[in-house]
């Protein structure tokens, strides 16, 4: 059995620079293996870092800014700190995987008859790609140490990856609350390994936003009440992915053709000038997700939806909520020829789809909607959909 990793002081640089000539310390060996597995950043932190994040989380929840993401409240106690989730943890290994786009991520916003999908969802589900590699890296760490234990986490667990990544020096949380890297800009998937082994921590990254407010100014729905604060209830990513009911009327027109997520605040960050396209083939964007036709998406039944988005994070929202989003985009298209898609879906089996279809029809063909209103109001069983019909008047 090999001896456990000693506690060794190392100040290895981040990212691509750390691939060159690092000393053979435990941390350097772990970094080297992480890069072999395809990660672009590997940094270390103590498990008791960022204790102030717990109070910030609880304050955010008290304000109700999490919307209907009840799981955030339910897991708040464990999410507040790594040692609350796993008391035995001593060190954190924070990993980043570059998923930078190879073109303008906002280009499809200018195509009203097409949809815009967030960059991270234009490819294979990153959870599937990253989690397997985290397990391989954790196995390597423990085999080299000959002792200890480790747990891997990627996004779905109650872990506050962004402040932990900042504490480890991966990047910093910008004014839009997302992680920013001096090397990779806005485009890093994050993963974490908690371990009982003691590894030498890296210095934290400092805030480099300065006086810039481009991310805040770019938000279509004014989801940032102040720098470094996000009201998820106003965020397009939340509204199109996490929100389960009808999208509030005040945000619909501002959503434009964004049908899954929103990259506006990420894409305008000046630090993206240092970013590069992701090199991971399994996360390469699928061509059909670049600017898909709204008409084709509106015609998806459940089986076609599942087939198209198999292996994609989009599949998790389900066909009904997805079509709700597509219909909002159709209503915003200013293309009267798309009214036929909305009219067809006012008879859909799902109330959330019918409601969005009514709104879209009212936007594109108000006279037609007015003609249909009396009969539909008389036969519509869902109160929310009836209200949508009344609002078309």
Put the strands of the sheet holding 41-46 in their side by side order: 41-46, 91-98, 188-195, 150-153
The residue behind tokens 């397990």 is 135
User: Which pair of tokens denotes residue 375?
Assistant: 């009969």
CB atoms within 10 A of CB 112: 16
* Closest C-alpha to 230, from 60, 50, 58: 60
Q: Where are the beta strands (DSSP E) in the chain?
A: 41-46, 91-98, 116-117, 150-153, 172-173, 179-180, 188-195, 258-260
Please list the helix, strand and coil fractions of the chain in percent, rounded to the nearest 5, in that order: 50, 10, 40
User: Which pair of tokens denotes residue 145?
Assistant: 């140490």
The string of DSSP letters for 360-385 reads HHHHH-HHHHHHHHHHHHHH---HHH
Active site residues: 155
Contact between residue 249 and residue 263 where contact means Cβ atoms under 8 Å apart = no
The string of DSSP letters for 336-360 reads GGGHHHHHHHTT-SSHHHHHHHHHH
CB atoms within 10 A of CB 341: 24
150/375 Cα distance (integer angstroms): 62
User: Which pair of tokens denotes residue 255?
Assistant: 């959503």
3-state secondary structure of 189: strand
* Cα torsion 55, 153, 234, 120: sign: positive
Pairing outcome for strands 116-117 and 172-173: unpaired
129/280 Cα distance (integer angstroms): 10
């Amino acid at each position: 059995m090999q001896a456990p990793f000693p506690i060794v002081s190392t100040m290895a640089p981040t990212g691509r620079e750390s691939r060159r000539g690092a000393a053979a310390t435990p941390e350097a060996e772990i970094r080297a293996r992480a890069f072999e597995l395809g990660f672009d950043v590997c940094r270390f932190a103590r498990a008791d870092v960022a204790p102030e994040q717990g109070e910030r989380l609880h304050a955010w929840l008290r304000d109700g800014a999490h919307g209907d993401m009840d799981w955030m409240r339910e897991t708040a106690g464990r999410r507040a700190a790594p040692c609350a989730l796993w008391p035995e943890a001593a060190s954190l290994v924070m990993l980043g995987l570059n998923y930078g786009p190879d073109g303008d991520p906002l280009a499809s916003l200018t195509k009203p008859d097409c949809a815009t999908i967030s960059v991270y969802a234009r490819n294979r589900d990153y959870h599937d790609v990253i989690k397997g590699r985290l397990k391989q890296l954790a196995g390597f760490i423990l085999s080299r140490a000959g002792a200890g234990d480790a747990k891997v986490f990627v996004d779905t667990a109650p872990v506050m990856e962004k402040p932990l990544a900042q504490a480890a020096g991966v990047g910093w949380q910008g004014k839009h609350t997302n992680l920013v890297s001096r090397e990779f800009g806005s485009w890093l998937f994050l993963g974490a390994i908690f371990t009982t082994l003691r590894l030498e921590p890296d210095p934290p990254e400092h805030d480099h936003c300065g006086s810039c407010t481009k991310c805040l100014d770019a938000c279509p729905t004014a989801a940032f009440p102040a720098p470094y604060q996000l009201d998820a209830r106003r965020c397009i990513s939340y509204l199109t992915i996490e929100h389960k009911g009808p999208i509030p009327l005040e945000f619909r027109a501002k959503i434009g053709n964004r049908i899954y997520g929103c990259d506006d605040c990420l894409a305008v960050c000046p630090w993206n000038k240092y970013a590069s396209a992701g090199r991971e083939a399994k996360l390469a964007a699928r061509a059909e997700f670049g600017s898909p036709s709204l008409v084709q998406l509106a015609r998806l039944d459940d089986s076609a939806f599942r087939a198209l988005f198999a292996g994609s994070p989009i599949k998790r929202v389900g066909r009904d909520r997805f079509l709700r989003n597509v219909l909002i985009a159709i209503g915003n298209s200013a293309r009267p020829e798309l009214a036929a898609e909305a009219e067809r879906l006012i008879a859909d089996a799902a109330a959330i789809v019918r409601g969005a279809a009514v709104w879209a029809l009212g936007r594109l063909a108000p006279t037609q909607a007015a003609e249909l209103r009396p009969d539909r109001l008389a036969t519509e069983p869902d109160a929310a959909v009836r209200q949508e019909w009344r609002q078309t008047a």
